[in-house]
Amino acid sequence: MKAKILAHLQQADTPASGERLSKRLGVSRVAVWKHMRQLQEVGYLIETTPKGYRLVRAPDAPFPWVMGDRGPLVHYHLELPSTMDAAMTLARKGCPAFTTVVAERQTKGRGRLQRRWQSTPGGLYFTMVLRPRIALAEAPLVNLAAAVDLADTLHDLYAVDVQLKWPNDLLVEGRKLSGILSQMAAEPDRIDFINLGIGINVHNDTRGVKPSAVAVAVLTDRSVSRARILEGFWERLALRLAGDRLDGVVDQWKPRAVTLGRMVTVQTLTDKVSGRALDVAPDGALVVETETGRHVKVLYGDCFHGDSNTKATRLPASR
């Protein structure tokens, strides 16, 4: 109903009266008034005049009613402890694939290895519940696929050239633009669900942030919409998973890689591997050549790029 009301307001050249809206939409004037109040409460600037309602400005937010047919799968919140935790509850209750939890703010968001995931105003923070029909061994490829699809989305919408850092970061000239985190529940023979958590700097004020970060809005002269970013990424990833097309994702990921050829230190939950990043294996693992010439494959970990002297340098933290 909110989508229908907004469509009428956007198309109207003159204020739309509550009576006219109620007749066109088949609801009472009280129902129209209630929806107007709710829209105003979440940031829509709607003027109430003697002649009716007039939409002055709409907020840039991925509300369910602006997401078209995907709207019923969107759970929008002004604030949550963590979109990942909320999505985990929904996933365990059997929610449909691509159920998406979005929050304007997270008070307990987290990144890799349980680091705090900052959620400053203006970013896009969401967790998407995936139920891919893939082998358990292919699960690490989902993060790489998400990075590729998000990079393609940002390039197509806003001409932003993104580079990829193994295993989960999107960078622009070394500055953090986005981070990806996934959590999985699986049986020995199948994946139950993969929760894909993503944070993107969109309208964030990243000036003064250390280590450096950057937002989409400062990288383009186009009008930036968080809803369009979510919708575009959703469409790409859904198309990829519908065709079970993960076999070529490593080849798609490598041309944008800033990790390969660099000296790196990869911290896992139990170990640390240092050396030169040689390649990404077909299963998504990073292949590292140590000082002794040994090749080590790392499937999961936090990767730090180093300088020519192999001293690790911390890249931007998840936002």
pLDDT by residue, tens only, the chain of 319 residues: 899 999 999 888 889 999 999 999 999 999 999 999 999 988 899 999 889 999 999 999 999 999 999 999 999 999 999 999 999 999 999 999 999 999 999 887 665 555 565 678 899 999 999 999 988 989 999 999 999 999 999 999 999 999 999 998 999 999 999 999 999 999 888 899 999 999 999 998 888 777 789 999 999 999 999 999 999 999 999 999 997 678 899 999 999 999 999 999 999 888 899 999 999 999 999 999 999 999 999 998 889 998 643 333 332 333 3
Sequence letter at residue 210? K
Instruction: State yes or no: 240 annotated in a binding site.
Output: no
pTM for this model (two decimals): 0.87
Q: Which fold has domain 2-57?
A: Arc Repressor Mutant, subunit A (1.10.10)
In the prediction, which pLDDT does 306 show?
Answer: 83
Q: How many angstroms separate the Cα of 230 from the Cα of each of 23, 199, 215? A: 33, 11, 15
pLDDT tens profile 115-142: 565 678 899 999 999 999 988 989 999 9
Domain boundaries, the chain: 2-57, 64-256, 263-313
CA 60/CA 81 separation, integer angstroms = 22
Instruction: State yes or no: 38 annotated in a binding site.
Output: no
In the prediction, which pLDDT does 114 show?
Answer: 54
CA 146/CA 168 separation, integer angstroms = 9
Instruction: State yes or no: 106 annotated in a binding site.
Output: yes
In the prediction, which pLDDT does 119 show?
Answer: 75
Q: Provide DSSP, 212-280.
A: -B--GGGS-SSPP-HHHHHHHHHHHHHHHHHTT--TTHHHHHGGGBSSTTSEEEEE-SS-EEEEEEEEE
Instruction: State yes or no: 112 annotated in a binding site.
Output: yes
CA 153/CA 234 separation, integer angstroms = 9
**CATH number assigned to the domain covering 263-313:** 2.30.30.100
DSSP helix/strand/coil, 129: strand
Instruction: State yes or no: 123 annotated in a binding site.
Output: no
**CATH number assigned to the domain covering 64-256:** 3.30.930.10
In the prediction, which pLDDT does 107 show?
Answer: 87
In the prediction, which pLDDT does 81 show?
Answer: 92
CA 18/CA 235 separation, integer angstroms = 36
